[in-house]
Structure formats: structure tokens, C-alpha cells
């Protein structure tokens, strides 16, 4: 780490040694709520396979009439300029996709890491994405990896060698283990306005920010550009904190996730006081309330169900289930937990959200709306101000109301979404223009 006097700086921001946290980002001037602190182009980005054809593989723009790659027929672009700009990265996959056909299936992490290796070869100098922090400086936490995580990384390395050969120069295995560990700790998931997964990317300067469950900034995306905006007033000298995780859950759950993925415990005010935990874990209050042991057992059950869903999605087992049984699993879990938990309990909300997702997938608009109506108020209470999760839920509700011809409720919900998004995304974001056009069209 350089001496603080020589620390890299950006307009109004500087890298510094954060007490107890290592490197960090600090404000050198005041930032108002909604103000843009930082823009960072992706060092490397990869569009998720399921969005090919609806989004440009190069810039991630969402539009109709995209042109496909003439060789592999699987990558799509806005125009020739986007295709040419992406070719140094796409060529890593193009011939391989043609050769493997339907058997071409590297994970998104493998695809992203391949692009990082290619970028490091073609751009050994510091890039526009690394004004404050370089990729090579990323923390890997290599000494904290357990056997399971090391085995998963070795599987990724094997896939990298299997699917990529022609255009890649590989470092040795130890270096690849470090790189994959760095990607796992520092990668970002790019999502759209409804928080649907679009792809994965590396944004070095954004990765400099430390975590807090009481963040003062939020990260949003404009294509493959990351933008960081204030969601609280920030004064000179304040450290800039984003959130690495979903903030819906109680303190113990959040820190379990932080330890598992990022190898630390959070010491923010919310984690020390746990002041929101009681509301987040609201239990039923009938004449004969459940015992402490019953509540403890139900929390354990809920955590297990959530973990099963998470693992199922990660390993794609969930795709083997038909959607009807999946909805039944959600409903059975809700019935069981509902004997102990209030509907505002975060574990109930989690299962409602899963059920809502299934309803949306099968185009059961009424069913999705019923779940969304139960979710939105507790979401607004449990999440911080200007939460993308709350904005996304208002947006989904607004579109559902419009689809079901309830224009008044639809307009109200969409306007609530816009109010949050104008702070989080900026008033000129294309998503906001699209939503305003939806209002005009209705």
C-alpha cells in the first residue's frame, strides 16, 4: 500500500487505508443524495447465455433486431461497431462454440476469467477501469479457502483448459487458483431494472469500496458501465460503503453470507445493534404464542429451505423440476412457516418472492400480483431507503397492474419505482425513460 499522501485519487474521492478493513475509498468533498460519485467501465464483462438475442453481447444494450455473429450464430450485436469492439473477447469463445456445439457449457465465472486473462495479455498497462485499484491488487483470501472451495476452483480451471485453448496463454495452476479466488471475491453481477441477471463483470475501482449493511452508496449499471451514487449525505472524510449482499435478512444470516463469500464479519452499526432483527423475525401473536424452541426450530427450517433453493439454482437442479411442483414447494413452506411467522417475516417474504417468480414465469399475472402485494410493504420497511429491491418490486407491481387493466394502481406503483430509481440510477438512465414511456403509452 502506498503512503496515504501518495494514494491514488479521483474527482472528490481517494483510496486510503481503512482502519481494520485494509484498503478503502474515502470522500474528499461533500456528496448529496443522488449525486454520482464514480463511473467505472467494465475491465471485463460477459453476457449471460440466456440473454443472448435480447441484449447486445458487447454493450449489453437491450433492443430488438440485433445482428448475430456470422460464425457461431450465438452472439448478437447492436451494429458492426459493437461487434468489432467485442471481437478481441468474443473470439475466445466463437471457434470453441462452433466446435463444441450444444456441449459448450463453461460457467459464467470461467467465461469471465478467460476474458480477464486475455485482457491482461493485450492490455498489460493500467486501464481506465483501474484508476484507484488494479486487478492484480485484488484480495484473493487464498489462505482462507476450504477444501470445497478449492475443489470448485479446480473444476473451473479444468473447464477453462477444456473450452479455451486457441487464444489463451495460461499461467501455472497456482496463479489460476489465485485469479479464480480473486474473481469470486471481487466480481459483480449486472442486473436489469427488475433485478434479472444479465451477466458478470469486473469493475476494479468499484471493488475498492468496503461493505456495510448501512451503505451510503449504491451501484447500478448502464450497460457495461458501473455507476456509484450516494443514497445518504456524504461528508468530506467519510468512508464510502456499498453493500455486498442482500440486506433483507437478519444479522446472523447476513454475516454467515459475508463469511462464506468474503471471509469477514461486518461491524457496522446495524450488525452491532441488531435493531431491525426483531421486526425481520416477526412471529405470530395468537393467544398461545409459540415457544422459543419452536421459533428456533422454524428459523432453522427456513434457513435450510432458502439454502436448498440457492444451491438448486447454483447447480441448475432447479431446472429439472417442473414449475408446478416448485410452486407447491413454496406454498407448503409458506403454510408451515405461517404457523409461527407473520407474513412480514423475512423468511416468509423470501418464499413469497420465489413463488411470485414462478407465477411470472408461467404468466399467472393474478397469482404474481397477490404475492407482490403481500411483499411490498414489508420490503419498504426492512430494506434501506432507495433500495433496488423495493424499486424492482414496485416496478413489477406496476407492470402487473397495467397488464390486468388497473391503470390507476399501475401508475401509482410505477411512479414509486421511478422515485427510487431517479436517485439510484440517475434521472437520465434509459430504464427510467422506458418506464416513463410505459406511463405515456397507458
pLDDT digits (tens, 9 = 90+) for 50-61: 999 999 999 999
CA distance 73 to 111: 18
3-state secondary structure of 144: helix
Q: Give the model's confidence band at 297: pLDDT under 50 very low, under 70 low, under 90 confident, else very high.
A: very high
Query: What's the chain's Rg over C-alpha atoms?
Result: 23
Instruction: Classify residue 66 by its DSSP letter.
Output: P
Q: Is 366 exposed, middle or buried (0-12, 13-18, 19+ CB in 10 A)?
A: exposed
| Nearest of 29, 421, 10, 8 to residue 218 by alpha carbon | 421
Q: Give the model's confidence band at 206: pLDDT under 50 very low, under 70 low, under 90 confident, else very high.
A: very high
Q: What percent of the chain has pLDDT over 70?
A: 95
Q: Which CATH architecture has domain 43-202?
A: Orthogonal Bundle (1.10)
CA distance 22 to 27: 16
Whether 1 shows a pLDDT value over 70: the answer reads no
The whole-model pTM stands at: 0.92
CA distance 255 to 262: 10
pLDDT digits (tens, 9 = 90+) for 298-341: 999 999 988 877 666 554 444 445 566 778 888 999 999 999 99
Interior angle at CA 405, CA 404 and CA 407, nearest 5: 120
Q: Torsion angle of alpha carbons 307, 248, 141, 300, nearest 10°? A: -40
pLDDT digits (tens, 9 = 90+) for 135-185: 999 999 999 999 999 999 999 999 999 999 778 889 999 999 999 999 999
pLDDT digits (tens, 9 = 90+) for 229-282: 999 999 999 999 999 999 999 999 999 999 999 999 999 999 999 999 999 999
CA distance 290 to 197: 39
Residues of the chain with CATH 1.25.40.10: 280-441
Which residue would you say has higher pLDDT here, 316 or 384? 384
Question: What is the arithmetic mean of pLDDT over 277-299?
Answer: 90
Predicted confidence at residue 324, as pLDDT, reads 66
CA distance 378 to 391: 13
Predicted confidence at residue 307, as pLDDT, reads 83
Interior angle at CA 205, CA 204 and CA 206, nearest 5: 90
Residues of the chain with CATH 1.10.220.160: 43-202
Q: Which CATH architecture has domain 280-441?
A: Alpha Horseshoe (1.25)
Calculate the alpha carbon distances from 428 to 203, 387, 437 in Å: 22, 18, 13
CB 149 within 8 Å of CB 263? no
Amino acid at each position: 500500500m502506498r503512503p496515504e499522501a501518495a494514494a491514488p485519487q479521483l474527482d472528490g474521492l481517494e483510496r486510503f487505508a481503512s482502519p481494520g478493513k485494509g484498503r478503502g475509498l474515502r470522500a474528499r468533498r461533500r456528496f448529496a443524495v443522488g449525486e454520482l460519485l464514480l463511473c467505472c467501465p467494465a475491465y471485463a464483462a460477459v453476457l449471460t447465455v440466456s440473454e443472448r438475442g435480447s441484449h447486445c453481447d458487447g454493450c449489453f444494450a437491450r433492443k430488438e433486431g440485433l445482428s448475430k455473429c456470422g460464425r457461431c450464430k450465438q452472439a448478437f450485436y447492436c451494429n458492426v461497431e459493437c461487434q468489432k469492439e467485442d471481437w478481441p473477447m468474443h473470439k475466445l469463445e466463437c471457434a470453441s462454440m462452433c466446435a463444441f456445439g450444444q456441449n459448450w457449457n463453461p460457467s459464467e465465472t470461467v467465461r469471465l476469467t478467460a476474458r480477464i486473462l486475455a485482457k491482461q495479455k493485450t492490455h498489460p498497462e493500467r486501464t481506465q477501469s483501474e484508476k484507484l485499484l488494479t486487478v492484480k491488487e485484488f484480495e484473493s483470501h487464498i489462505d482462507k479457502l476450504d477444501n470445497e472451495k478449492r475443489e470448485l476452483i479446480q473444476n473451473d480451471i479444468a473447464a477453462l483448459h477444456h473450452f479455451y485453448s486457441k487464444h489463451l496463454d495460461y499461467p501455472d495452476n497456482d496463479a489460476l487458483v489465485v485469479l479464480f479466488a480473486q474473481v469470486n471475491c471481487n466480481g459483480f453481477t449486472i442486473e436489469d431494472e427488475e433485478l434479472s441477471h444479465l451477466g458478470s463483470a469486473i469493475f476494479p475501482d468499484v471493488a475498492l469500496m468496503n461493505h456495510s449493511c448501512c451503505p451510503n452508496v449504491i451501484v447500478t449499471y448502464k450497460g457495461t458501465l458501473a455507476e456509484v451514487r450516494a443514497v445518504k449525505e456524504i461528508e468530506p472524510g467519510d468512508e464510502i460503503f456499498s453493500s455486498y449482499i442482500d440486506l433483507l435478512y437478519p444479522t446472523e444470516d447476513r454475516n454467515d453470507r459475508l463469511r462464506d463469500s468474503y471471509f469477514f464479519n461486518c461491524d457496522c452499526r446495524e450488525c452491532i445493534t441488531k435493531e431491525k432483527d426483531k421486526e425481520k423475525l416477526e412471529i405470530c401473536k395468537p393467544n398461545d404464542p409459540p415457544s422459543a424452541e419452536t421459533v428456533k426450530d422454524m428459523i432453522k427450517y427456513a434457513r435450510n429451505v432458502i439454502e436448498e433453493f440457492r444451491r438448486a439454482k447454483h447447480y441448475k437442479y432447479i431446472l429439472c423440476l417442473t414449475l408446478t411442483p416448485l410452486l407447491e414447494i413454496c406454498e407448503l413452506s409458506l403454510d408451515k412457516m405461517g404457523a409461527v411467522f407473520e407474513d412480514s417475516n423475512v423468511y416468509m417474504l423470501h418464499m413469497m418472492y420465489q413463488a411470485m417468480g414462478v407465477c411470472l414465469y408461467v404468466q399467472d399475472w393474478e397469482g404474481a400480483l397477490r404475492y407482490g402485494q403481500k411483499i411490498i410493504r414489508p420490503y419498504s420497511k426492512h430494506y434501506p431507503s432507495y433500495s433496488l429491491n423495493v424499486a424492482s418490486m414496485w416496478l413489477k407491481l406496476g407492470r402487473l397492474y397495467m397488464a390486468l387493466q388497473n391503470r390507476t394502481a399501475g401508475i401509482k406503483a410505477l411512479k414509486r419505482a421511478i422515485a427510487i430509481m431517479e436517485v439510484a440510477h440517475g434521472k437520465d438512465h434509459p430504464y427510467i425513460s422506458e418506464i416513463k414511456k410505459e406511463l405515456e403509452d397507458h
